[in-house]
Amino acid sequence: MILLTGVTGTVGRLVAERLATDEPVRLLSRDPRRIAALAGPRTEAVGGDFADPSSLAAALTGVRAAFLVTSDPLTPAHDEHFVAAARSAGVRHVVKLSARAVAEPDATDLITRWQRDNEELLRASGIEWTFLRPRAFMSNTLGWARAVRDEGVVRTVNGASRNATVDPRDIADTAVLSLTGTGHAGRAYPLTGPAAISSADQVAVLAALLERPLRCEDMTRDQAYQGLLARYPSPVADALMESAVRQRSGAKAGVEPTVETLLGRAAGAYRAWAHDHIQAFRPV
């Protein structure tokens, strides 16, 4: 039995769609009705909450391998609960969605420290682990969709600075390989796209695909911070601002060969991702 978490989110959903295995699969959500459509003859949806250890104990019963996606850096207990329950249930292998910056000592923001601690927890548990360490997801640009549709303007932080963003489909393919293949225990996989690209470049790609002009405008530091505070608690907004400073210094431009090495094909480029998701940026 394989358990997938995060299946209503960006990467977990793609993993659930791709995982073709003879092994039964269990999908976990706080609201399993949301994932009923993903269930099938060998796939069941279960309710579970990282905040509720007893729900995790039930979800992990009989599980051999699990895909772990946690998303709240202010609640380290989520990973603690999951790892403790996985250990008690005798889970042999956990594939953990982490972050590229974990391996970069100068990254000391809250989100990176949380993911670093999560990795340490798993390492210390005795359970076999695989860490997927992606750079920023290309799909983060879906956050621009409304502004593109309504105004033709994208407001960014450091629009000219580059990031080797990764296609979430490549992360999902790597997760599937790690969950079903051999030789992935004890490995940490840095995952990037094939090139470092700036927000301004991404906006230009969208404009070309949409065949309409789009403008990319840099926000001031304060505008950017206020925008983050409207969406996140202040410690998370602070962490994202720190992360933006690292990007401006060039810390996120490095390209890794891992996707190509593991999957035997080139990592997806932003143009391909944008082509396949362009509908989200068109007027509704």
Ligand X SMILES: NC(=O)c1ccc[n+]([C@@H]2O[C@H](COP(=O)([O-])OP(=O)(O)OC[C@H]3O[C@@H](n4cnc5c(N)ncnc54)[C@H](OP(=O)(O)O)[C@@H]3O)[C@@H](O)[C@H]2O)c1
Distance of CA 34 to the CA centre of its chain: 19
Axis-axis angle for helices 77-89, 53-60 (nearest 10):
40
Q: Nearest 5 degrees, angle CA 61-CA 132-CA 52? A: 35
Which range in 28-36, 38-46, 179-187, 192-200 contacts ligand X by CB under 6 A? 28-36
Among 8, 61, 125, 180, binds ligand X (CB under 6 A): 8
Q: Which one of residues 34, 123, 146, 275 is an interface residue with ligand X (CB under 6 A)?
A: 34
Of the candidate residues 6, 190, 193, 268, the single one contacting ligand X (CB under 6 A):
6
Q: By CB under 6 A, is residue 117 in contact with ligand X?
A: no
The backbone torsions φ and ψ at residue 40, rounded to the nearest 5 degrees and listed phi first, read -155, -165
Query: How many residues belong to the site for ligand X (CB under 6 A)?
Result: 27
Least CB distance from residue 48 to ligand X, whole Å? 6
H runs (alpha helix) in the chain: 10-18, 53-60, 77-89, 110-125, 145-150, 168-180, 199-210, 221-229, 234-248, 258-263, 270-277
Is residue 50 a contact point for ligand X (CB under 6 A)?
A: yes
**Cβ contacts of 40 within 8 Å, gap of 6 or more:** none
The yes or no reply on residue 193 touching ligand X (CB under 6 A) is no
What's the number of CA atoms in the CB half-sphere (13 Å) around residue 132? 30
Q: How far is CA 200 from CA 101, 156, 207, 218, in A?
A: 22, 8, 10, 9
Q: Nearest to residue 247, comparing CAs of 135, 154, 171, 142?
A: 135
Binding window for ligand X (CB under 6 A); candidates: 43-51, 182-190, 231-239, 269-277: 43-51
CB 165 within 8 A of CB 131: no
State the burial class of residue 111 (Cβ atoms within 10 Å of its Cβ: 0-12, 13-18, 19+). buried
Shortest distance (Å) from residue 108 CB to ligand X: 15
Q: CB under 6 A: which stretch of 49-57, 194-202, 212-220, 221-229 binds ligand X?
A: 49-57
Beta carbon nearer to ligand X, 184 or 252: 252
Tell me the window of 8-16, 199-207, 238-246, 260-268 that interacts with ligand X (CB under 6 A).
8-16
Site string for ligand X, 132-171 (x = CB under 6 A): --x-xx--x-------------------------------
> Is 53 a residue that touches ligand X (CB under 6 A)?
no
Of 11 and 259, the one with the shorter C-beta distance to ligand X is: 11
Does 39 bind ligand X (CB under 6 A)? Our answer is no
Amino acid at 233: P
- Convert residues 56-95 into a mask of x (bound to ligand X by CB under 6 A) and - (unbound): -------------xxx------x-----------------
SS3 of residue 218 by DSSP: strand
CB of 276 to ligand X, least distance (A): 17
CB of 97 to ligand X, least distance (A): 5
Can you tell me which residue has the tokens 């940490």? 188
**Interacting residue ranges for ligand X, rule: CB under 6 A:** 5-12, 29-31, 34, 48-51, 69-71, 78, 97, 99, 115, 134, 136-137, 140
